[in-house]
Structure 1
Amino acid sequence: MYVLSIISTKGGVGKTTITANLGALLADAGLRVLLIDLDSQPTLSSYFSLTSRAPCGTLELIAQHQLDPRQVVSRTEIAGLDLIRSNDPTGQLATLLLHAPDGRVRLRNLLPRLASAYDLVLIDTQGSRSVVLEMAVLAADRALSPVLPEMLAAREVHGGTLQLLADLQPLQRMGIRTPALALLLNRTEGISNDGRLITAGLRRSFSHTPPLLLLNTSIPGLVAYRQAATLGLPAHRFEPRQPHGRKAPSCLSSVQALAIELFPQWQPQLTQLTLDAGDRR
């Protein structure tokens, strides 16, 4: 089982949209995928319709070590895509984890007990520095951080997300490693000339910054992603084909390319997704 946490210390960068669409595409490719919503504002928890809603969620999973799938795992209408809902609107988890000896590594210790049921776990997080975010980072094999083509984006990554990883480095003395970080340029299409210059500058800024990997894939800022979310559909099903006359690739092509770059071990399954993905609506 592989664990990817989608993180940023800045809100509004598209973490939930990336998480939902990656998860749905990988499930359509035949993988067993679990989404975990650790955002106290639980957009991911309502992104897709549920065919089975578990009575419990992340609060019981983490606070009470509740691992019974009947209690914590909800089923989405997308075959192979499950969800552990966020049910912590008042932030009880943060208080609990701050005072627990194993707080920052609790999810890391719990997830192996789900390994037989899933190929991949995607963790959505809140866009601010917190102990819950640190827990999500330490539970991951890899972290993915969306970055917007804005002037302050590079500063935020260096002063926020990279600083978070640096602050967790001392845990390596206890055998707890921090994951490698991949950056994804998000909402890059249809931006101004200034935005394109900023995007090029971001690529130069991060191209020689270890331990960062700046992904070759970027996600265009298309209205199709918002329209798909409004309808509760994965973007690759909503727009499997590139509209005539538009330079930006289809949602299917973009999310598929991102998934292949992140998970080359599943490239054979992912490349088999074709234009008829849109016929599943």
Structure 2
Amino acid sequence: MQVLSVISTKGGVGKTTIAANLGAFIADAGLRVLLLDLDMQPTLSSYYELISRAPGGIYELLAFNERDLACLVSRTTIDGLDVVLSNDEHRQLNTLLLHAPDGRLRLRNLLPAFQPHYDLVVIDTQGARSVLLEMALLASHQAVSPVTPEILAARELRRGTLQLVEDIAPYRKLGIEPPLLHLLINRVPAVSTNARLIQQTLRLIFKEQASLHVMDTEVPAIEAFPRAATKGEPAHRVEYRRPSGRLAPAALEIVRQLAHELYPQWREPFDRVTGKSGGRLAHV
């Protein structure tokens, strides 16, 4: 089972959009995907309609070490895509985990309960430095950090997200290797000299940094993603062909490229997703 966290210490960079669309695409490719919503503003929990809602969620998982999937896991209308809902209404988890001896490692220790049932866990996180964010990173094999091509976002990336990765490095002494951080340039405008300059600068600055990979995939600022979110559908189902006259590829191809780059071992089922039927391929 692979574990991917979508992180940033800055809010509003598109973490939930990336997590929801990547998870749904991979589920449509026939793999079993679980979304974990660790954000205090539970947008991911309501991104897709549910066909069954579990009595518990993230709070029961992390506060009580609950391992019963029937208590934790809600099912979405997308076949193969489940979610553990954010339900820490009183925002107690950060304080609880801060004072717990295993706080930053709790999720890492609980995830084996999900391993027989899922191929991929995608963790959405809050846009601020917290114990929950550190915990998500320490539980992950890979992490994706969306950054918009704006100077303030670039500064926050270095000051916040990259510092966070450095700060958890001492866990190597416990045999826990921090995940490789993938920098995803997100919401790239079609025409902007300033945005293009920032993109090029980000690639140059981080090119030689061993713990950071600047992804080849870039997500353009196309209308398909907010339109799909409004409909409660994955963007690859809403826009599976590139509109006439637009240079940017269709949402289907953008999400497919992102999935290819993160999980090349699943390339074959990814290539079979058309987005047209919204159906799920046979599990491979």
TM-score by length of 1: 0.97
Whole-angstrom CA distance in 1 between matches of 2:120 and 2:42: 20
Query: Match of 1:18?
Result: 18
For structure 1, the 5+ residue unaligned runs are none
1:280 aligns to 2:247 (yes or no): no
User: Does the CA-based 8 Å contact 1:4-1:141 persist in structure 2?
Assistant: yes
Q: How many residues are treated as equivalent by the alignment?
A: 279
Distance 1:197 1:161 in 2: 21
Conserved? CA contact 2:74–2:84, under 8 Å: yes
Distance 1:156 1:182 in 2: 16
CA deviation vs aligned residue, 1:133-163 (integer Å, no higher than 9, x gap): 0000000011110011001233222211111
- What corresponds to 1:173 in structure 2? 173
Q: CA deviation at 1:183?
A: 0.5
**Aligned match of 1:6:** 6
Work out whether 1:187 is the aligned partner of 2:177: no
Further displaced range: 174-183 or 35-44: 174-183
1:279 is paired with a residue of what secondary structure? coil
Q: Which residue of 2 aligns with 1:27?
A: 27
Is 1:270 matched with 2:270? yes
Counterpart for residue 95 of structure 1: 95
Structure 1 SS opposite 2:161: helix
CA distance in 1, matches of 2:12, 2:73: 26
SS at match of 2:276: helix
Counterpart contact for 1:189–1:248, Cα < 8 Å: no
Change (3 A) 1:222 1:15: same
CA distance in 2, matches of 1:61, 1:231: 29
Q: Corresponding residue for 2:84?
A: 84
Pair 1:237 & 2:233 matched: no
- 1:113 is matched with which residue? 113
- In structure 1, how many angstroms separate the alpha carbons of the residues matched to 2:197 and 2:179? 30
Stretches (4+) displaced over 6 A: none
C-alpha deviations, 1:55-100, integer Å up to 9, x for none? 1100001111112111110000000000000001321110110110
Helix, strand or coil at the partner of 1:186: strand
Helix, strand or coil at the partner of 2:188: coil
Name the structure 2 match of 1:223. 223
Q: Measure how far apart 1:191 and its partner are.
A: 4.4
SS for the counterpart of 1:181 is strand
SS of 1:90's partner is coil
3-state secondary structure, aligned to 1:132 = helix
RMSD: 1.1
Partners of 2:136 and 2:200 in 1: how far apart?
A: 30
**For residue 198 of structure 1, what is the amino acid of its counterpart?**
I
How many angstroms does 1:189 deviate by?
A: 3.2
Is the Cα contact below 8 Å between 1:225 and 1:251 reproduced in 2?
yes
Q: Whole-Å Cα distance in 2 between the matches of residues 10 and 90 of structure 1?
A: 22
Query: How far off is 1:196 after superposition?
Result: 1.5
AA at the equivalent of 1:120: L
Structure 2 partner of 1:246: 246
Distance 1:136 1:211 in 2: 17
Q: Partner letter of residue 276 of structure 2?
A: G
Deviates more, 1:144-153 or 1:196-205: 196-205
Counterpart Cα distance in 1 of 2:66 and 2:187? 37
2:56–2:72 contact (8 Å) kept in structure 1: yes
For residues 89 and 218 of structure 1, what CA distance do their matches in structure 2 show?
34
